[in-house]
Structure formats: C-alpha cells, structure tokens
Amino acid sequence: MSHQGAGAVLAELAPEPPRVGIVLGSGLGAVADAVEDAVVIPYDELPGFPLPSVAGHAGQVALGRIGGVPVAVLQGRAHVYEGGDLEAVRTPVRALCAAGVETLVLTNAAGSLVPDVGPGRLMLISDHINLSGVNVLAGPNDDALGPRFPSLRDAYDPALRAELHAAARDLDLPLADGVYLAVSGPTFETPAEIRAFRTLGADAVGMSTVHETIVARHCGLRVAAVSAITNLAEGMSEEPLSHDQTLRDAERASGDLTRLLLRFLEKGV
Ligand code: HPA
C-alpha cells in the first residue's frame, strides 16, 4: 500500500524520526517557516500523496525540528470536494503513522458560528460533527492498521488540549474552544444551514480535518486540532465569503498559530 512506501521515504529522508505531524490548512503555510534545518520533500516524491489543486496549499512536507521536537509539517491536504479520492486523505496520515509519528496536530481555516470569535482568532477543536456525507474509513478494513469500529470518544486528546490551552495562556493568546462541523464543500453554506448547524451545537464550520482525525485515531495517533477563524459563518456578517478572503484572514491568524505551536512543542509533548 502506498502509505508504507511514502512512510519509508519520510523515514529515510528525515534527519531524525518525526514524533509530531502537523497538517497545515489553507493560508497557514507560515508555520512551516518555523521548522529548523528543514529537509523539504515535494508531495510528488511521496507515493499516494495528493498533488495540490487549491491555492494556499504548497504540496510539500518539511522535516526538521520545532521547539526541539522532531516534526513532519505537511503543507497541503486532499479535500472531499476535490473529487472524493479518500485514499489521498488516508495516505498522508498513515504514512506519518508508518514513519513513527505519535501525535498529529491538524490545522484548518474555518468559519465561526460564535459571534464573539471572529476573523483572525484561533479555536481549539474539542469535538466534531461529520456532516460531510462520507466516512473516510468506509470500505474494507485493514486490521493491521486499526479496528473495524474505532471509538471517537475523546478523539481530540484531552491532555493535548489542556497543554495547548496552557501554551496559549503563557502567550496571553486568546484561544477559544469549540465543536467543528465538517461539510464537503466546495460551496460555502447557506444562511439556513448555518442556523441549523448552530442548533446542532456547532461552533465552527469547515471542509477538512475530521477525515484526518478519523484516520489518525484508527491507527492510534493522538490528535489535537486548531481552527484559524477566517470569517463569521454565512448570514452572520455583511462580508461576502470567498477563498481569497479565507486566505487573507488565515494569513492574519498564522502568526499566532505559529507562536502557539512553538510554545506547545517547547513545553514538551
Ligand atoms: N465555511 C466552510 N469552510 C470554510 C469557511 C466557511 O465559512 N471559512 C473557511 N473555510
């Protein structure tokens, strides 16, 4: 399977085995600049990795250290709206697993359903609601990787969440907490959908992350996830939603995200 091939390439080219994987969402590439002595591998050298089709996703892995911890930082991910190639969602996470990663930190750009948590803010994901219409583990199960029916209780590791909140406090950085609801995209939501999602208990909405969380929990990785809020969700503000606006506001949040992850890793994972 391609994740084994890609995992072997990562393990061979990494200056030392990565312990933490970090997946960067749209417009959040600046985090990769924090990798010291980076070895950069383009996705086309990693079997089964998705070739980037969306602006704001570089399509490369940076291997090195952040805050003294060996990391693999993935700049670019596959999305369901790109055509439903779920293998391209599974392979990078499983390759990290195969390369020896223990903890996965997922990041994304998301819309906020909480009026007080606006563009530029960070939200730590406490749980998710998967309304994307797919489950990335549908299909035959490889029992060598993980169980047929994995539990998603505490999918977002409570200890990692506490450590991220502690890192945010050290930096005086406001870090909200919330439930992330995943849609498939590529359309943004209607105002009626956002009203419905609020009654369901969602605090943020986006088009990624839950799939990687599911694959990661299946193979036993600990998961933490942070949303960079790029907009108030549809119907909550006057500003029209667009991908350009997502990228602009993600870049606003990426400085804070970099500082947060650096502090979190420095404190020891
Ligand atoms: N909806 C879905 N995905 C998003 C949004 C949004 O409002 N903002 C950034 N990604």
The band of 9, judged by pLDDT with boundaries at 50, 70 and 90, is confident
pLDDT in tens, 23-68: 998 888 888 998 999 999 999 999 999 987 666 567 999 999 999 9
Cβ pair 25, 208 in contact under 8 A: yes
Ligand 1 atom with the smallest distance to the CA of 234 is 7
Ligand 1 atom at minimal distance to the Cα of residue 246: 9
Tell me, using a 6 A CB cutoff, whether residue 123 lines ligand 1: no
Per-residue pLDDT, 243 = 80
Q: Is the CB of 231 under 6 A from ligand 1?
A: yes
Reply yes or no on whether 102 is catalytic.
Answer: no
CA of 212 to the centre of ligand 1 (A): 17
Over the stretch 107-117, which tens digit does the pLDDT of each residue have?
A: 999 999 999 99
Q: Return the residue matching tokens 């990041």.
A: 107
Kindly report the number of other CB atoms within 10 A of residue 251's CB atom.
Answer: 19
- Burial class of residue 209, CB neighbours in 10 A (0-12, 13-18, 19+): buried
Ranking 61-70, 81-90, 101-110, 117-126 by mean pLDDT, the lowest is 81-90
What is the chain's mean pLDDT, rounded?
92
Q: Give catalytic status of residue 82 as yes or no.
A: yes
Candidate list 81, 102, 141, 196, residue with the active-site label: 81
Report yes or no: 179 and 202 within 8 Å, Cβ to Cβ.
yes
User: Who contacts 162 (Cβ-Cβ below 8 Å, separation ≥6)?
Assistant: none
**Number of Cα atoms under 13 Å in the Cβ half of residue 37:** 11
| 2-266 CATH choice from 3.30.300.30, 3.40.50.1580, 3.40.50.11540, 3.40.50.2020 | 3.40.50.1580
Q: How far is CA 160 from the centre of its chain?
A: 14
Sign of CA dihedral 63, 69, 75, 81: positive
The CB of 110 under 6 Å from ligand 1? The reply is yes
187: CA distance to ligand 1 center in Å?
Answer: 9
